[in-house]
Amino acid sequence: MKPPACEATWHIPANGSVLQEQRQHSQQPWPDFPENFPAATFDASFHPAAVTAKFAAGGQPWLAFSSDYTKAHVQAAQFGDLVAVDVNRSGGRVGTLAAKELKGLEVLEFLVTAEIVRTRWHVESTVCVEKSAAKDGTFTAKVSGEHVYFTNESNHNAFQFRFEIRPDGEMWVITD
């Protein structure tokens, strides 16, 4: 089967994750990836996440750690509280987009890079946005890819999902 053409492609490596960054800085390292990303208004006590440094608006990062690195927060000017969704297991509601002027593809790239929309388990993933469109206030992207993980051997599993930002700002991952 011929691989799909991609509007955008992202590689999500094992190193350079929010989890790894937190473990490097915190006295209380997380046992696993965070499930919740509460919205907060960042001040000088927050530490911008290096892994998502390119995502910022108005001089404020979209993701930052609390002063003690025990929580990862999203910027309240851009997002409401977010919940991680693992595309390899199921879909679900991610949360809300507060800044509706943000471009849907950039929001999706941020969510995948921050592993709020999780595309890998252990090693890495390659993400392909096959098609995206904005119509009647809804942004939709058809996404496919492959993630690599290890059990007793290297495993390569394909995934696919649809990502939506609805007119009310609700963000969803739909797995069929």
Tell me the mean pLDDT in the region 102-119.
96
pLDDT tens track for 80-90: 999 999 998 99
Tell whether the model's pLDDT for residue 1 goes beyond 60: no
Strand partners for 45: none
Say how many C-beta atoms besides its own lie within 10 A of residue 34's C-beta: 19
Dihedral angle over CA of 30, 31, 35, 40, nearest 10: -10
Domain ranges in the chain are 8-174
User: What b/e readout covers 83-102, taking b as 16+ CB neighbours within 10 angstroms?
Assistant: ebbbbbeebeebbbbeeeeb
Neighbours of 24 (CB within 10 A): 10
pTM: 0.93
According to DSSP, the residues that pair with 93 across neighbouring strands are 172
Structure tokens at 162: 């649809």
pLDDT at 169: 97
Percent of the chain at pLDDT exceeding 70: 98
What is the structure's pLDDT at 2?
A: 52
d(CA 167, CA 38): 21
pLDDT at position 10 over 70: yes
The per-residue pLDDT for range 31-87, each reduced to its tens digit, is 888 899 999 999 999 999 999 999 999 889 999 999 999 999 999 999 999 999 999
